[in-house]
């Protein structure tokens, strides 16, 4: 076993000898790791996989790999995450690559795969890129656990000239949000309140639907995010379940706007007058002891959107609209990142980088005044 820097000294590699499932003595070498720790972890994963009888052969097909990969991920992924991974494999990746050997995947085939996703499956550019990332993650697993060359780092999403100019990130301006809220108020008060809070707080829809009165700090005017609404599969059907937030950074406290506080206070005053009231009741639910289902809220939202005469957006785009509002108001990226519950500010800058150029003129004006 050896962990060392590659010939060009810019990356790390591991090289280890092992006996495959056929009793043949072999050597496994993988290069291109950014750090020594990554190389050590990859070597450890590879050696551990030998003990579980994982297939080590250059003849493995994508179909065979997918079965092994899904089985390995089922125990360490949340139910919803695993469901979307399984769905992407079965709907898009396996129909295109399934019968190929993993070692036969190359950039030309990846380019054709993206054409398949965008032109035949009519996926958005963002969904196509997400599907690509799931393919790459599975290939990285194969590189560690099977005898195939390390190719994943070479396979890039192709640039489509007809799509480069269109932004996948959608959001509403303040004027558009005012129009949407006015229309929603006249259509359905319940969904109007949800739209308003998503726009004013930047919460994910699952975080909002999972809120109970225990998560409202009225004294300090804060929403305390501690849980999320997800779902699990029971006997083949989906059931709602309260799960932890998306990541550690999603556990946060959000200062409420006056309108947000007023809206939640209105629900609180109505509910606490009910016999048997408990602070464990879900705020945006008619049954109170159980949260409102996401798909029910989505139906209400889509009904409002269909009659709004505004550009179509999704409920998650309300979170983007909140970020746009903060950035254009001059909020520091670190504060935006903290409010949205991103892992770090890099995530915020990567997602909303095209919002910041709108502030360049302000920066130049300041420099001109200072230097002049």
Domains plus CATH for the chain? Answer: 2-164 (1.10.150.130), 174-364 (1.10.443.10)
Q: What percent of the chain has pLDDT over 90?
A: 41
Alpha-carbon radius of gyration of the chain = 25
> For residue 321, what pLDDT is reported?
93
User: CA-CA distance, 211 to 242, in Å (whole number)?
Assistant: 10
Phi and psi (nearest 5°) for 131?
Answer: -65, -40
Residue 234 pLDDT: 64
For residue 238, list its beta bridge partners.
233
Look at residue 50 in the predicted model and tell me its pLDDT.
Answer: 63
pLDDT of 372 reads 56
Residues near 45 by beta carbon (within 8 Å), at least 6 away in sequence: 144, 145
Q: Is the pTM of this model over 0.75?
A: no
Structure-derived torsion over alpha carbons of residues 194, 199, 203, 205, reported in degrees to the nearest 10: 40
- Identify the pLDDT of residue 164: 46
- Local structure of residue 292 (DSSP, 8 states): P
pLDDT, residue 166, reads 45
Q: Compute CA 113 distance to the chain's CA centroid, rounded to the nearest angstrom.
A: 22
- For the record, the structure tokens of 49 come out as 């996989």
**pLDDT at residue number 237:** 66
Ranges of residues in the chain whose predicted pLDDT is under 70: 1, 19-24, 48-58, 147, 160-168, 233-238, 354-372
CB 214 within 8 A of CB 279: yes
């Amino acid at each position: 076993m050896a962990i060392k820097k590659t010939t060009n000294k810019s990356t790390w590699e591991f090289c280890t000898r092992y006996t495959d499932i056929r009793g043949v003595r072999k050597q496994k070498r993988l290069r291109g790791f950014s750090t020594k720790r990554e190389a050590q972890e990859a070597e450890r994963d590879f050696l551990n996989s030998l003990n579980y009888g994982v297939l080590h052969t250059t003849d493995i097909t994508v179909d065979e790999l997918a079965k092994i990969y899904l089985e390995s991920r089922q125990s360490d992924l949340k139910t919803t995450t695993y469901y979307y991974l399984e769905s992407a494999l079965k709907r898009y990746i396996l129909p295109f690559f399934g019968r190929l050997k993993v070692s036969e995947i190359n950039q030309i085939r990846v380019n054709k795969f993206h054409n398949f996703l965008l032109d035949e499956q009519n996926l958005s550019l963002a969904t196509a890129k997400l599907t690509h990332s799931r393919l790459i993650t599975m290939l990285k697993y194969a590189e560690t656990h099977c005898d195939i060359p390390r190719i994943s780092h070479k396979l890039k999403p192709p640039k489509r000239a007809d799509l480069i100019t269109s932004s996948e990130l959608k959001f509403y301006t303040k004027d558009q949000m005012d129009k949407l809220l006015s229309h929603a108020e006249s259509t359905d008060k319940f969904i109007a309140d949800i739209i308003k809070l998503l726009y004013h707080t930047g919460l994910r829809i699952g975080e909002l639907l999972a809120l109970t009165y225990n998560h409202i700090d009225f004294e300090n005017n804060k929403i305390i995010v501690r849980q999320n609404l997800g779902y699990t599969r029971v006997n083949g059907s989906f059931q709602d379940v309260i799960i932890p937030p998306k990541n550690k950074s999603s556990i946060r406290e959000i200062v409420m706007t006056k309108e947000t506080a007023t809206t939640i206070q209105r629900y609180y005053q109505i509910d606490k007058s009910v016999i048997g009231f408990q602070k464990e009741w879900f705020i945006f639910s008619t049954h109170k002891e159980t949260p409102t289902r996401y798909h029910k809220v989505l139906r209400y939202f889509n009904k409002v959107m269909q009659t709004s005469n505004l550009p179509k957006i999704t409920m998650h785009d309300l979170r983007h609209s909140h970020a746009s509002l903060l950035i254009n108001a001059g909020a520091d990226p670190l504060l935006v990142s903290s409010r949205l519950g991103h892992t770090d500010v890099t995530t915020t800058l990567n997602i909303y980088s095209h919002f910041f150029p709108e502030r360049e003129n302000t920066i130049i004006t300041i420099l001109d005044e200072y230097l002049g």
